[in-house]
C-alpha cells in the first residue's frame, strides 16, 4: 500500500485510479452511514478525495490510507450535519426574495411546470434551431455575423432563421397546452 500511495503522491494516474477503486465504496458507506442525503453524501465523498489529494504527500502512515479516508469522510459528514442543524425552517415564503422575484411555493411549482414545457418544446426543434437559440440565450454578445460564422449560415439568414425557429418553438408550446398568448 505504501508504494501505491507514494506513486499517487508523485502524480501517477494509475495509482490514483487504484486508490479510488479500492476505497470509493468505503468513503461512500461512511457518508451514507451518517444518514446524509445522496447529494450531501456525494459532496462528502468528493471532498474526502480532494482532501487526500491535498495531503497525500504528508500522510504519516501511508499503509493506513483507508483509515485516513474513513476518518476524513466521517469528519466531513459531521461537518455537513452540523451545517444542516443551523438551517431553520420557515413558513414565511413571502420574505424570500431573489432580486425582483419572490419565491412562493405556488410560483416555484408553476415556474417548474412552465420550464419543463419549454424544454420539451425546445428538444423537439431541429438541431439548427436548438443551436441558434442556445447561442443567442447563452452568448448574447455574439453579433449576427459571428452567429452566422459559427452556424455556417449567411449573415442575412440568421435573422430569418431565428424568426422561423422562434415560431416553431411557439407552435410546439401551443401543442403542449400553453395558451397562444403566453407561448
With cut-offs at 50, 70 and 90, classify the pLDDT of residue 88. Answer: low
pLDDT confidence of residue 33: 83
**With 0-12 CB in 10 A as exposed, 13-18 as middle and 19+ as buried, what is 123?**
exposed
Is the overall model pTM greater than 0.85, yes or no?
Answer: no
Q: How does DSSP classify residue 125? A: S
Greatest CA span in the chain, whole angstroms? 68
Long-range contacts of 38-46 (CB under 8 A, 24+ apart): 40/80, 40/84, 41/77, 43/80, 44/73, 44/76, 44/77, 44/80, 45/73
Q: Which three cell numbers stand for residue 120?
A: 420539451
pLDDT at 140 over 80: no
Cβ pair 139, 88 in contact under 8 A: no
CB atoms within 10 A of CB 148: 19
Summarize pLDDT for 157-167 with one digit per residue, the tens.
888 999 999 99
Amino acid at each position: 500500500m505504501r508504494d501505491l500511495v507514494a506513486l499517487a503522491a508523485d502524480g501517477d494516474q494509475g495509482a490514483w485510479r487504484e486508490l479510488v477503486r479500492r476505497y470509493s465504496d468505503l468513503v461512500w458507506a461512511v457518508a451514507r452511514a451518517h444518514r446524509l442525503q445522496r447529494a450531501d453524501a456525494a459532496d462528502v465523498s468528493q471532498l474526502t478525495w480532494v482532501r487526500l489529494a491535498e495531503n497525500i504527500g504528508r500522510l504519516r502512515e501511508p499503509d493506513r490510507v483507508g483509515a485516513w479516508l474513513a476518518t476524513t469522510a466521517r469528519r466531513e459528514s459531521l461537518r455537513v450535519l452540523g451545517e444542516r442543524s443551523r438551517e431553520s425552517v420557515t413558513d414565511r415564503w413571502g420574505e424570500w426574495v431573489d432580486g425582483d422575484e419572490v419565491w412562493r411555493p405556488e410560483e416555484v411549482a408553476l415556474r417548474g411546470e412552465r420550464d419543463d414545457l419549454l424544454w420539451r418544446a425546445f428538444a423537439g426543434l431541429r438541431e439548427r434551431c436548438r443551436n441558434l437559440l442556445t447561442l443567442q440565450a447563452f452568448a448574447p454578445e455574439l453579433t449576427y455575423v459571428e452567429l452566422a460564422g459559427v452556424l455556417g449560415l449567411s449573415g442575412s439568414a440568421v435573422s430569418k432563421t431565428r424568426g422561423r425557429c422562434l415560431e416553431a418553438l411557439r407552435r410546439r408550446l401551443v401543442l403542449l397546452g400553453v395558451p397562444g398568448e403566453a407561448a
